[in-house]
Amino acid sequence: MEVLVFSLNAVLPLVLLVALGYLLQRTKIFSDDFWQTCNKLVFRLFLPVMLFYNVYNIADFADINWWFVLYGSAFIVVVFGLSMLLVPLFVRDNAQRGVIVQAISRSNYAIIGIPLASSLYGASGAAAASVMSAFSIPLFNALSVMVLAAFNRESGAKVNWKKMLLDIVTNPLIIAVAAGLCVLGVRALFVRWDWSFRLSGFVIGNTNVDFLYKTLELLSQVATPLALIVLGGRFCFSASKRLWKPIAAVCVVRMLVLPAAALALAYLIVPSLGGEHFASYIALFATPVAVSSAVMAKEMGGDDELAGQLVVWTTLASGVTLFAVIAVCRALGLL
């Protein structure tokens, strides 16, 4: 019973927020422009602030388990590589090949993953997930560009590499994580030199001055609920019947096969993993397809209709599969 309650407490709040967004969309209270504007606000402000805030709250670089980071990053690269080799054996359309490879390999880590890690293991889970985001988010974006460009080149489409690379380095999530790590590094140097440097606890006279830190904290608290509501508000179920075969295949691989393989291998070969690390791996490998994958597919000539459907259906499937993955990990004592 304890395992059941733990799993429900971790997953249901996320699912209910997505469901709320979908219900609001169906009632037509808000226009499509509203949802698009909210999506931009989440992507350009609230999520970057949340990532910066979580990274900043890491006590020290010495707290980072580099085996944990190395395994997560290496597994992402391996999954992309294997998908590049295997997907063309089963899919003929180049526009769909790149989209499917990206969907199998790229999770919705920023919007669903990091909040899930926090829900599973509190502040330490959020901190570990934020550290992993410093490596996974750039990897997801860079490898997705390479995959989509490779298949589009085969179909004769031209790819603006300069624009795509610029999009990667100017990604607000990547910038936020990089900024957080830079501030963390500067803070570590100041501590070594016995200089006081924190956004919170700065003292003027006998008074703590925390206004900047508290502002960041409040903004970061908005990120998760708003992002999930917006995700539900942008759901669209058109074309599901026509594309049911690739949708079903990706759901099985993305939501069942991949997390089972990633977590089992991590348990067997990665040393010194705690519950916060497994919470982060669940967030990294067991969450649905990234929302931004559909946008990138459209910009690079992929099948954006299929990409959108994969986002919708893996998100729906995650309500069941995440519960199962978390329950198993909890029963095994990994969380």
The pLDDT mean for the chain works out to 82
Per mean pLDDT, which of 13-17, 18-22, 101-105, 199-203 is the most reliable? 101-105
The span from the CA of 127 to the CA of 121, in Å, is 10
pLDDT score at 18: 84
pLDDT at site 68: 94
- What values do phi and psi take at 93, rounded to 5? -80, 120
DSSP 156: T
Q: Domains (ranges, CATH) in the chain?
A: 2-331 (1.20.1530.20)
- Can you state the angle between helices 94-105 and 244-252, rounded to 10 degrees? 30
pTM of the shown model: 0.81
Per-residue pLDDT of 50-70, as tens digits, reads: 888 877 777 666 667 889 999
Q: What is the mean pLDDT of residues 3-19?
A: 79
The answer on pLDDT for 235 being more than 80 is: no
Mean pLDDT lowest among 94-98, 104-108, 150-154, 249-253: 150-154
User: What confidence tens digit (pLDDT) does each residue in 164-182 have?
Assistant: 677 677 778 778 888 888 8
Distance CA 277, CA 269 (A): 14
Question: Would you give the DSSP letter of residue 35?
Answer: H
User: Long-range contacts: 244-249, Cβ < 8 Å, 24+?
Assistant: 246/91, 246/96, 246/100, 246/306, 246/310, 247/306, 247/309, 247/310, 247/313, 249/90, 249/100
> Which of 72-86, 149-163, 220-234 ranks highest by mean pLDDT?
72-86
Chain-centre distance of CA 134, in angstroms? Answer: 11
